[in-house]
Amino acid sequence: MRTARRASNVEVPSFLRQLVKETEKMVTFFFKGGPSERVPGEEENLNEDDTMPSPYLERPILEKHVSEGGSQLGLNYAVASMQGWRAHMEDAHTCMPQLKGELEDWAYFAVFDGHAGITVAQYCSRNLLDHILTTGGIKANEDPEQVKEGIREGFLDIDRHMHKMARQDTWDRSGSTAAAVMISPHHIYFINCGDSRTLLCNDGQVIFYTEDHKPFNPREKERIQNAGGSVTLQRINGSLAVSRALGDFDFKEVDWRPETEQLVSPEPEVYELERTPEDEFLILACDGVWDAIGNEELCAFVRNRLQVCDDLRDICAQVIDLCLYKGSLDNISIIIVCFRGAPQVSQEALQQEAELEQHIDMKVEEIIQRMRSKAENPDLLYVIKFLAEEEMPGLPPGGGITSKRDCIISAYQKHISALRTHEPMDIGGSEEDSN
C-alpha cells in the first residue's frame, strides 16, 4: 500500500522560471568573462560567442525515470532521475543488488554525472564493474585492502581503455564523475571520483560521506599546478569544476606524467566500513542533489519519509522535487539503498503527516480569503512566501515547507477553483498564477 502523496509533475511556478533566468545571467557572466558593454541605442553586433547556446531550457523537463529492486540479501533500492532545467540529460547509473557467481552475496550501485556530453558516463555505467572485477581483487573471501586496490585499478584501467577508444573513434570530449558503493556481507566500500557523493545513515545519523574532489582543495590544487595548470575561478584553467573524473582527456595529455598526476585524475578514493545492524540506508547522488541540500538535511528528510511512505520510488521522486524547488538547475539523479534496519512506516507518523497536510490546507484557504477581503489578487507566490515565514510544527526535517510545495499548490488550486465557482466574474488571478 502506498501511503503518501506521490511527487507530481506539477507545472513549475513563475518564480522558478525567474530563478533560472537570473542564474543563466550569472552562468553567462562566468563563462564569457562578463557582459559586453553597449552604448544605449547601439545596434547589437552578435559574434559567435554571443550566440553560444544556453545550458538551460526555458522550462524544466519534469519527467522522472524511476525503478526499484531488491535481493535476497535484505537490500531494497530505488533510483530516480530527471533532466530538469539542463538542455541535455548527461547522468547515468548502475544498480546491481546481487552480483553473480561467487559474488552472489555482493551488491554494486553507482551514479555517473557526465559533463560536456553523455558518452563517458554511459560507457562507465555499462562497463566499470567489469573492469573492477577483471582485476581479480574482488573475491568471496574478501581482503579489504585487495578489494580497494582492485577498485582503484579498475578505474585506471577503464580510463586508459576509453582514452584509446576516444582517439580511435573520435569520441566527444565528455567526462564523468563517479560515486559508487560495493556491499559485501561484512563491509561497505565507498568509492568516489569527482563531486558526486555517497553517504551512510546509521541509527539516524550520517556516519560517513565521501569528500568532493574540487580543484581548490589543497591536495588537488597542488597536483594541478604540478601538472602545469592553474586554478582560476575555482576551476581547472578556469574551465572544469571537478579535479577528478573519468574521461576529460583534454586534461590528461601531459605525456611525461603518470595518469594519477594529470590535471584531472581518474583515481578514486576508496574507503571501507564494517556493516552493522544499525545501518539504515545509503544515498548516492549527483551534485544536482548536493548543490541544493546538505548531508544531514537529506538524511533526516529520507528517514522521515520512510516512516510515512513504503514506496522507495516515491521517496526518490520527492527528493528530486525538493531539490528542484530549492533551486537546483542541474540534472538530478539519486539512488537510495535500504538495509534491514531502515525505518518502517508507522501509524503515528502517518497521523502526523495527515494533520500537517490538513493544517496547510486550512492555512492556504485562510490566506486566500484574507487577500480577497482586501480586494487583492490571491497570488500563489505570495501564499508560498507567507507560509515560509510561518512557524509550522510537524514539517519534514530537512525539507521544511519546501518539501510540502505540492501540497500547497494542490490546496491553492482547490480553493481558487472554489472561489471562481462562486465569484466567476470577480477573480483577477491569471492562469499562470495557478501553475
pLDDT tens digits, residue range 13-44?
A: 444 544 444 444 444 333 333 333 333 344 44
User: Which are the contacts of 247, defined by CB distance < 8 A and separation ≥ 6?
Assistant: 119, 120, 159, 162, 166, 174, 175, 176
Q: Predicted confidence band at 3 (pLDDT cuts at 50, 70, 90)?
A: very low
Sign for the pseudo-dihedral over CA of 288, 290, 292, 297: positive
Quick check: do 14-21+60-338 and 347-434 share a fold?
no
Is residue 317 predicted with pLDDT exceeding 90? yes
% of the chain beyond a pLDDT of 90? 76
Please state, in angstroms and rounded to a whole number, the distance separating the CA atoms of residues 383 and 405: 11
Please state, in angstroms and rounded to a whole number, the distance separating the CA atoms of residues 358 and 31: 46
Nearest to 238 by CA among 264, 219, 215, 212: 215
pLDDT for res 167: 87
Backbone angles phi, psi at 178, to 5 degrees: -145, 130
Backbone angles phi, psi at 156, to 5 degrees: -65, -35
pLDDT for res 430: 46
Nearest to 157 by CA among 250, 242, 260, 244: 260
Supply the DSSP symbol for 186: S
User: Which are the contacts of 37, defined by CB distance < 8 A and separation ≥ 6?
Assistant: none
Domain extents in the chain: 14-21+60-338, 347-434
pLDDT for res 34: 36
pLDDT for 320-344, tens place per residue? 999 999 999 999 999 999 999 999 9
pLDDT for 62-71, tens place per residue? 999 999 999 9
Please state, in angstroms and rounded to a whole number, the distance separating the CA atoms of residues 172 and 156: 20
Is residue 58 predicted with pLDDT exceeding 70? yes
pLDDT for res 6: 39
Any idea how long the chain is?
Answer: 435
pLDDT for res 419: 79
- Which CATH number applies to 347-434: 1.20.1740.10, 3.40.50.300, 1.10.10.430, 3.90.380.10? 1.10.10.430
Listed ranges 168-177, 253-262, 277-286, 415-424; the one with the highest mean pLDDT: 277-286
pLDDT for res 423: 62
- How many CB atoms neighbour CB 238 within 10 A? 15
Bigger pLDDT: 373 or 234?
234
Nearest to 178 by CA among 119, 102, 121, 217: 121
Nearest to 111 by CA among 318, 290, 369, 341: 290
319-337: burial string, b at 16+ Cβ within 10 Å, e else: bbbbbbbbebbbbbbbbbb
Of 24-33, 77-86, 351-360, 396-405, the one with minimum mean pLDDT is 24-33
- Cell numbers 590535471 correspond to 263
Is the overall model pTM greater than 0.75, yes or no?
yes
SS3 339: coil
Supply the DSSP symbol for 312: H
Q: How many CA atoms lie within 13 A of 296 on its CB side?
A: 1
Nearest to 356 by CA among 313, 306, 407, 294: 407
pLDDT for res 22: 47
Average pLDDT over residues 122-132: 98
Q: Predicted confidence band at 83 (pLDDT cuts at 50, 70, 90)?
A: very high
C-alpha cell, 64: 522522472
Supply the DSSP symbol for 402: G
C-alpha cell, 15: 518564480
- Topology (CATH) of 14-21+60-338: Phosphatase 2c; domain 1 (3.60.40)
Please state, in angstroms and rounded to a whole number, the distance separating the CA atoms of residues 407 and 360: 8
Please state, in angstroms and rounded to a whole number, the distance separating the CA atoms of residues 317 and 403: 11
Nearest-10 Cα torsion for 149, 151, 154, 159: -110
pLDDT for 248-267, tens place per residue? 999 999 888 999 999 999 99
pLDDT for 172-209, tens place per residue? 899 999 999 999 999 999 999 999 999 999 999 999 99
SS3 352: helix
115-139: burial string, b at 16+ Cβ within 10 Å, e else: bbbbbbbbbbbeebbebbbebebbe
